[in-house]
A = this chain, B = another copy of it.
Amino acid sequence: MGAEMLQKGAVSARDVALAAGVSRTAVSRTFTPGASVSPATRAKVIAAADALGYHVNNLARGLTRAESGIVALIVAELDTPYRSRLVSALTDRLQTAGKVAMMINTDRSDASVEAALKQAIGYRTDAAIVLSGMPDRALADMCLRNGLRLVLINRDEAWPGTIRVRLDDEEAGARAARTLLRVGSERPALASSASATASLAARAKGFRAVLAAEGVVPIEAVFGATSYETGLALGTDLFSREARPDGIFCVTDLLACGVIDAARHRFNLRVPDDLSVIGFDDIPQAGWEAYGMTTFRQPVTAIAEACVAWLSGPAAGTEAETVRLSAEMVWRSSVAASGR
């Protein structure tokens, strides 16, 4: 009936204590697992808390405790199939681990990554998961000094107090090359963006190495950002050449979609009859009937699992750790059947 306490601020433990006729300590203990409170008191507190709509202030709790429960996700181009899948998996996993994700956008520039990390420090984030862009050594040290653990995904650098999560990109690239050779591709090609990412470089490296061992030099098209539009451009470039490729490894599904569309709609080529295409990531669109793309599946849930497990574990000393996961091949219809 008489609903007081409607001012402006949130309802605090003192309000609950007042309403329940107990001390504020009792309220605190009620919401602290393992603390000593009598069932009677606890019941009174819970009743009052429910009536007032009380919730423990995690900010204040984070002041005293060493952990705030917040983990920063630092990411560029979230509106991209692979990224959004990974972020979704990460937030999911963090939540079930009792933590919560704070999203910080960057534009891939070093400056914006630095700003993002500083903001993360400002909120006393337990850790930061960096999906894109690269903090330099000094920045990483600053994070460490502020008790902020760093998770680097798809990066080569390894620093103290840091965990790296990597895929077997090189092996996947090699497998792509072997697959194309087995299909009988005589003019295999590599399509990649110009973005200097460790994982993209590793995929290309593995691809080239296998071909080189067979004495084959791949046709290459490398430019642009990692996007569908670049894929289109790469495709039209490749198919306009004298020696038209008959098998293409695209370091990313997004690129592969563009390449396939260029082949079909701009050059009237049939996939896989005239051309085999292999991608990487297994974004949802790779499974769409318009593409039916043979590709490598990013183990997003395994990646998320590894990150969160490390975060939940004890603050491992100062050695850098590395987690390696493998990308399973997914067979669809963009590669001639004999290749399997």
Interface string of A36-79 (1 = CB under 8 A from B): 00000000000000001101111110110010101001000111
Residue A290 lies at the interface, judged by CB distance under 8 Å to chain B: yes
Cα separation A195 to B83 with both chains bound (whole Å): 26
Query: Is residue A228 contacting chain B, with contact meaning CB distance below 8 A?
Result: yes
Sorting the interface of chain A by its residue count into under 10, 10 to 19, 20 to 34 or 35 or more gives: 35 or more
Residue of B nearest to A60 (CB): B63
Least CB distance from A143 to B in Å reads 9
- CA A326 to CA B163, docked complex, whole Å: 46
Chain B: minimal CB distance from A71 (Å):
10
The stretch that binds B, out of A8-16, A20-28, A175-183, A240-248, is: A8-16
Q: How far is the CA of A211 from the CA of B81 in the complex (A)?
A: 36
Q: Could you tell me which A residues sit within 8 Å of B by CB distance?
A: 5-6, 8-11, 52-53, 55-60, 62-63, 66, 68, 70, 73, 77-81, 83-85, 87-89, 91-92, 95, 100-105, 118-119, 121-124, 141-142, 145-148, 228, 232, 257-258, 260-262, 264-266, 284-285, 288-291
Supply 7 further A-B pairs (C-beta < 8 A) apart from A57-B63, A258-B288: A55-B121, A60-B63, A70-B102, A78-B91, A92-B105, A100-B103, A102-B103
